[in-house]
Amino acid sequence: PATAGLLVLYGADNSPSCRPPKDKLDKNETTECVYKIPCKSCDSVYIGETGRSFGTRMKEHRKEVEQQDGRRFTRSAKQTAETEQNKSAITDHATRKNHVIDWDEARVIGRESNRMARWIREAVKIRKEADKAMNRDEGAYRLSHVYDTILLSATTSSGERNSVRQRPQMRSKRH
């Protein structure tokens, strides 16, 4: 039967209920989320979280990378840049390795309105990416390494199996 653009749901008693479908939220308007930004040049990814809009956070990351992209280094300036730490680990990755960030493939990988739960989710995602994460730290929440065996033997968000090989110790961002 024609539903005239309505979403038909069936209740526990199998009775139909009609309502208009929800509008799909533009990913850039998504707030309170954990996100993933891949590198075009290698399989590294950056995992981050924000309470603000995903689009706003992407613009900030992109602006910093693009400011550094315009710089041309002499050999000695490049060596100096290697030791300097930029605001973002994404910028460090792009400039130190001369890699290109894949902004078009950046995506939200989870939503969580509770800040602490979002920090935990970010820490879990960083740990699950193991040696592919370009993050400098473990995220806002210091996740116990007791969980490493479980997290590192599980699949990554891209569906690949992680090895149980542990990543070198990372610093905690906010502790």
pLDDT digits (tens, 9 = 90+) for 1-32: 555 566 666 766 776 666 566 666 688 899 99
Helix H or strand E encompassing 58:
helix 54-69
Contact 93, 46 (CB under 8 A): yes
SS3 state of residue 163: coil
Sequence-ordered list of residues with C-beta below 8 angstroms from that of 109, at least 6 positions apart, any chain = 33, 34, 35, 36, 47, 125, 157
Q: How many CA atoms lie within 13 A of 82 on its CB side?
A: 7
Q: Mind listing the pLDDT tens digit of every residue in the chain (175 residues)? A: 555 566 666 766 776 666 566 666 688 899 999 999 999 999 999 999 999 999 999 999 999 999 886 665 566 666 666 667 778 899 999 988 889 999 999 999 999 999 999 999 999 999 888 789 999 888 878 877 777 777 777 655 555 554 444 444 455 454 4
pLDDT digits (tens, 9 = 90+) for 46-56: 999 999 999 99
Sheet holding 107-111, edge to edge: 45-50, 33-38, 107-111
